[in-house]
Structure 1
Amino acid sequence: MDHYDVAIVGYGPAGATLAHLLGQCGLKTLVLEREGAHYHLPRAVHFDAEVMRVFQWIGIADQMEPKTAIHPGMRFVDGQGNLLLDWPRPQGEGPQGWRANFRFHQPDLEEVLRAHMSQRPEVTVRTRCEVFHIEDQGDQVALRFEDMSRGKVEHVTAKYVVGCDGARSLVRRYIESDMEDYGFHERWLVVDVILHQDKPALGDHSIQYCVPERPATYVRTPGMRRRWEITVLPDEDSFDIAKPDRVWELLSEWLTPDEAELERTAVYTFHSLVAKDWRKGRLILAGDACHQTPPFMGQGMCAGTRDVANLYWKLALACKGLVADPDQLLDTYESERKPNAAEYIKTAVRLGGLINTAGTEEALRAALPAGDGSARMESIAPPIGPGLGDDTEQAGRLFGQPRMADGQRMDDVYPHQFVVVAEAALAEGLTLPNHVALVTTDQSNSADHLARFGAKATVLRPDRHTLGGADTAEELQALLLRVLPNPITTQQPEMA
């Protein structure tokens, strides 16, 4: 019977990204996927700079960037087209080392993720394999699955199993986790079209049509693809409203049948749910298996990527026996990720309510988080919850990615490592563990990042969240006591 460090159930973007990260850490990883190929039609259409930074780690960012479309921001308009609220997105390279937001075609991403997996000899991918039994045996997990290409039942074991298997997660059923409900459950018709030729009048901005009678969203996606999401009214039949004639009737304000072809129409019920338990023993959830969000912030796939970025290096340390209490370490995955995911979902629910009911600029401005009277909205960036960081307000914040003096991005120079970022004077005479990198203000443009963070120094985890801030050598040394071993080494490093 084959034994693995980690078995991943599900080969969507979250599962594939986790497999890449675990493979980079040297973990023997199995991916089990029920389908024979990735889904060929559009689904997710947005990711942000934080996600592109993770794609940078696994070596696909430069290949993905040309496949994306510029996303200048989102505008909220009323039924007459009057601007109610502007939510601009910065252009050019931002703090994460990439532009702020990207529009993409999910099949393009999945093709790149899967093609690049050939560079991961540590990862075994089995498609057309359906898991039907999972047993946590205390020291390992036993799985049974059917290889549907051969009609053969197989048995494997793994130290840990991660369910990246979507909203109907089998792994979540074995964990027996209920879902916390934030109250949003609505049917929306999702329509993807391919234009015959460009139609500049549609614009590059995403548009939220705040029309209480029939709220709708327009999204510009790469190439000639465009998307509309349109509310389905309570008395409307989901099957009938997705028929082509009815779809073109609903799109008539923007588009005619001779201007485009329908690529996909589907009615989805958007939910706002977060699993109460993200881990039980050796079973762990990630992605849609543990949270589902309305689409109004474009954070569904982003949240799953954040999950696996938080989880991969903790699993590596646990599997390699480099931490005294792996359960305590893995417990920080839920405590850190759950509040962050919940905050994004709550904001998406709030936006959904505004799109559905608000018809005036005043209503929008009053109800949004930063309701400061401005007709502009800023992106939120909630910190992770309590876990490995200290108990200060600066702990758990996502830090930027400095450029080194030679122009390289920091994460390319120091992948999967703990990194001290500090003012040069504060770093003089600093004693570091030999697996911890040092980036100072005279080696990079990190002064700008530290000023934005509000401290003279910080310690970054492999996922680039901070352990806390420091303004003195003593405070920095105290932060260094929280540093764990290097997740990509095979043995615990000696202290320098």
Structure 2
Amino acid sequence: MKIAAEHDIYDVVVVGLGPVGATLANLLGMSGAKVLVLEREALAYHLPRAVHFDDEVMRVFQWIGIAEKLLPKIRINPGMKFVSGDGELLLDWPRPQEESQHAWHPSWRFHQPDLEASLRQALETYPNVTIMNRCEAFMIDGLQDEVSIRFENMSNGEIKHVRASYLVGCDGARSLVRRFIESPMKDFGFHERWLVVDAVLKTNKPSLGDHSIQYCDATRPATYIRGPGKRRRWEISVNPSENSVDIAKEESVWNLLAPWLTPDEAEIERSAVYTFHSLVAKTWSKERLFIAGDAAHQTPPFMGQGMCAGIRDVANLAWKLVACLRHGHNPTLLDTYQTERKPNAEAFIETAIRLGHLINTANGKPALEAAIKSDDGHREMTSLYPPLGQGLGDGVHCGKQFSQPKNHLGQRMDDLYPYECLFVVENAMENEVKQLTGIDVASTSEFPSLKYYLDGLDAKGVLLRPDRYILGTGNTVDEIVELISLLPYDIKNGEGIK
């Protein structure tokens, strides 16, 4: 492992090597950026925290080359059931068991230490990425042309100073980087204590089921989550009068788990009380400093979207940082990170809060059905795909993520056209668009199902960003080629990082 030398200069410094920081470092590393990652802990945390990710996030893991490696260690989530305190089924939310538009199943359960190990192993393949564990930043100066960072190596007390073009804080809810940005928090008003219990079964117990279950009991709301292998999680609401330390003790935990488990059937791996928050930073960047993940937003876990939102953050930010490293610093481009991501993150938080209130309600089935009733009176829950907020691009489809088809060999589009801009066009336009732009083109001849997706957009071609969101659409070669102007830099020049 390389060691950062005094006064080293990096393209990007990433503070924090959790799943969000490690994903960002991978995206930057595969794009050729010189990256330093500072992580205050010696090793990855050995206990699970996040337990769910979706198809959009799996698509990001595909880009960095770990999706297939994860498959033996994760499991497809069949869905969620809402039941009353008496065990009555109030609502069934099945998750599709076929692949979604992103060419992956919509909902996955995982063990976070397995994910972190895969992310770190991938980083080891990049000589341009340096990881320093047991190192904590304490002074950050955001200058006009660079960032100055001082950090302590907590193994030996040594103080070091490095510089970078950009710094991204993926350093969690108590983010140091957020403090240097001086960002206040927007409070959505949901703050509740819940006991989180992770257990490992000693033997199979099919009666627990494979579905996640929300127990909508006003006296003691709870959530059951089936993890991979023999891992199971319960999240149990803590009443205001209860002591956080006492309720997490083993005897109390087994009393609470009595409806489902006995000590003969499982071992408790971890029990702790957490306060679920609903917060969003009002400012996500300042000059060349940025925050992502829990540093930028915190959500109740009822949608399973906490980590997912952070992965979406860095998928949005990484390619914009790379574009600035290739083409020059561009505040207009970088400002779109917050304007695009913040409304998207808020949409998930607001939905999670609504679900949390429903789980806590004494009104049971009527409240659930009212909450999910659509304009035509039909009641169902579906996957949430909110568009980006205002930012890059133009047209009614701007800010929507484009689908990922497979070719006749079963190869996914993003495996053949990695993390760069991409035109998607009908076959007749393929050669001309490529000759006029020099940008990769995926066509309906290679991916026949693209015709279905293009027809759905009422277009013959689209320009996709590296994160596969739509910049714009067109119906003639001239209109499609002109979409390049929607990017605030000359994509045909400056391909290498300077």
Shorter-chain-normalised TM-score: which range?
A: over 0.9
Partner of 2:41: 35
* Counterpart residue identity of residue 295, structure 2: A
Partner of 1:479: 483
User: Do the aligned partners of 1:36 and 1:128 also contact (CA within 8 Å) in 2?
Assistant: yes
> Which deviates further from its counterpart, 296-305 or 429-438?
429-438
Partner of 1:114: 120
- Give the one of 67, 78, 81 matched to 2:84: 78
- SS of 2:272's equivalent in the other structure is strand
Structure 1: gaps spanning 5 or more residues: none
Shift of 1:405: 3.5
Shift of 1:55: 0.7
Question: How do residues 392-407 of structure 1 correspond to structure 2 at under 5 angstroms?
Answer: 392-407=395-410
Change (3 A) 1:255 1:451: farther
- SS of 1:43's equivalent in the other structure is coil
Partner of 2:165: 159
Question: How do residues 164-243 of structure 1 correspond to structure 2 at under 5 angstroms?
Answer: 164-243=170-249
User: Do the aligned partners of 1:365 and 1:371 also contact (CA within 8 Å) in 2?
Assistant: no
Residues 83-132 of structure 1, C-alpha deviation per residue, up to 9 Å, x if partnerless? Answer: 21222211132211111111000000011111221101110000000111
User: Do the aligned partners of 1:417 and 1:435 also contact (CA within 8 Å) in 2?
Assistant: no
Partner of 2:338: 334
Distance 1:344 1:487 in 2: 37
- Give the one of 395, 417, 422 matched to 2:420: 417
1:468 pairs with 2:468: no
Distance 1:275 1:486 in 2: 35
Partner of 2:138: 132
Change (3 A) 1:85 1:441: same
Change (3 A) 1:154 1:429: closer
Distance 2:64 2:456 in 1: 27
- Give the one of 355, 359, 363 matched to 2:359: 355
* Counterpart residue identity of residue 218, structure 1: Y
Change (3 A) 1:233 1:404: same
* Counterpart residue identity of residue 398, structure 1: Q
Question: How do residues 426-465 of structure 1 correspond to structure 2 at under 5 angstroms?
Answer: 427=430, 429-430=432-433, 434-444=437-447, 445-465=449-469
Shift of 1:8: 0.5
User: Do the aligned partners of 1:184 and 1:272 also contact (CA within 8 Å) in 2?
Assistant: yes
1:317 pairs with 2:323: yes
Structure 2: gaps spanning 5 or more residues: 1-6
Root-mean-square deviation over aligned CA pairs? 1.8
User: Do the aligned partners of 2:55 and 2:106 also contact (CA within 8 Å) in 1?
Assistant: yes
Distance 1:224 1:112 in 2: 20
* Counterpart residue identity of residue 143, structure 2: Q
Shift of 1:474: 4.5
Shift of 1:486: 7.0
Q: TM-score, normalised by structure 1?
A: 0.95
Shift of 1:65: 1.4
Shift of 1:170: 0.1
Change (3 A) 1:210 1:451: farther
Shift of 1:428: 6.8
User: Do the aligned partners of 1:403 and 1:446 also contact (CA within 8 Å) in 2?
Assistant: no
* Counterpart residue identity of residue 71, structure 1: N
User: Do the aligned partners of 1:219 and 1:226 also contact (CA within 8 Å) in 2?
Assistant: yes
Shift of 1:64: 0.7
Change (3 A) 1:183 1:59: same
Shift of 1:472: 4.1
Change (3 A) 1:268 1:452: farther
* Counterpart residue identity of residue 389, structure 2: G
1:17 pairs with 2:23: yes
User: Do the aligned partners of 1:88 and 1:376 also contact (CA within 8 Å) in 2?
Assistant: no
Partner of 2:4: none
> Structure 1 vs Structure 2: percent identity of aligned residues?
57
1:387 pairs with 2:391: yes
Distance 1:434 1:463 in 2: 19
User: Do the aligned partners of 1:417 and 1:486 also contact (CA within 8 Å) in 2?
Assistant: no
Distance 2:293 2:492 in 1: 25
